[in-house]
Amino acid sequence: MRPTAIVFDLYGTLLHIGALRERVRAAGIADADAFVEAWRAKQIEFSWCCSLMDEYRDFDTLTRKALTYVLAAAGHELTPAAAEALAAGWLELAPHDDVKPFLAELQKRSVLLAVLTNGVRASAERALRSAGIRDAFDALLSVESVRAYKPDPRVYRLATAHYACDPERLLFVSSNGWDASGASAFGFRVAYCNRTRKPGETLGYAPAITIGALAELNAFLE
């Protein structure tokens, strides 16, 4: 069954978070891989805490707060200007190598495409344009509309409301295992793009398909 639309997560799925490593090194932080991983983990942890506390703070704010924490935990000090320059890296992430070719192929097929992101809409818009892929998407859906974060069902419901369809009519693509689980629990058909070959999630909500690169979805779509 051809999906009504394909909905993509943004950070980690379309945009390569690892691209932050060069900025981290430029800031004088030696172990850039570990730093970026810890920053991302704290960013997501804060988003979950805000949802559970029913106390929404936008993703840009959480990103900066997570950076402050990780800098302190690693024993690094940056000037406010340097820290702001580092946080601004989230607005200029490069896409994964497989993203542009796959999106171009989907556009040839006239498939409706959307982004569903935890990010602030204006920031996500800027990041997509910086990556050169904004024009591929007919919709950019942000959690700002519901003031909660994935995997809250209210977030996934933004996509079903936009396309006026049941969850199983949408294919959701994410490289975040927890997001893939949440989307599966909601009822989406889910493609888990596991580029780094992490162990499969064990929460009990299996994706419809697990892939190592976006191009592998072509066979599934056919």
The position carrying tokens 């072509």 is: 218
| Confidence grade of residue 221 (pLDDT, cut at 50, 70, 90) | confident
180/195 Cα distance (integer angstroms): 13
Query: Which residue from 205, 208, 201, 118 is spatially nearest to 171, judged by alpha carbons?
Result: 208
Residue 220 has pLDDT above 90, yes or no: no
Q: Please provide the average confidence, as pLDDT, over all residues in the chain.
A: 95
196/210 Cα distance (integer angstroms): 12
Q: What is the mean pLDDT of residues 90-106?
A: 96
175/21 Cα distance (integer angstroms): 19
CB 180 within 8 Å of CB 150: no
Which tens digit of pLDDT belongs to each residue from 133-143?
Answer: 999 999 999 99
CB 185 within 8 Å of CB 205: yes
C-alpha separations of 118 from 6, 57, 72, 123, 147 in Å: 17, 11, 25, 11, 10
Q: What is the mean pLDDT of residues 2-9?
A: 95
Instruction: Name the pTM for this structure.
Output: 0.95
Q: What is the mean pLDDT of residues 148-169?
A: 98
Tokens in use for 38? 């810890």
- What's the burial of 18, exposed, middle or buried (CB within 10 Å: 0-12/13-18/19+)? middle
Would you list the domain boundaries of the chain? Answer: 5-16+93-221, 17-91
CATH architecture, domain 5-16+93-221: 3-Layer(aba) Sandwich (3.40)
* 5-8: strand order across its sheet: 139-142, 113-117, 5-8, 170-174, 189-193, 209-211
Residue 1 has pLDDT above 80, yes or no: no
Which tens digit of pLDDT belongs to each residue from 108-123?
Answer: 988 999 999 999 999 9
11/108 Cα distance (integer angstroms): 24
| Confidence grade of residue 126 (pLDDT, cut at 50, 70, 90) | very high
The CATH fold of domain 17-91: DNA polymerase; domain 1 (1.10.150)
Catalytic residues: 9
Tokens in use for 127? 């990041």
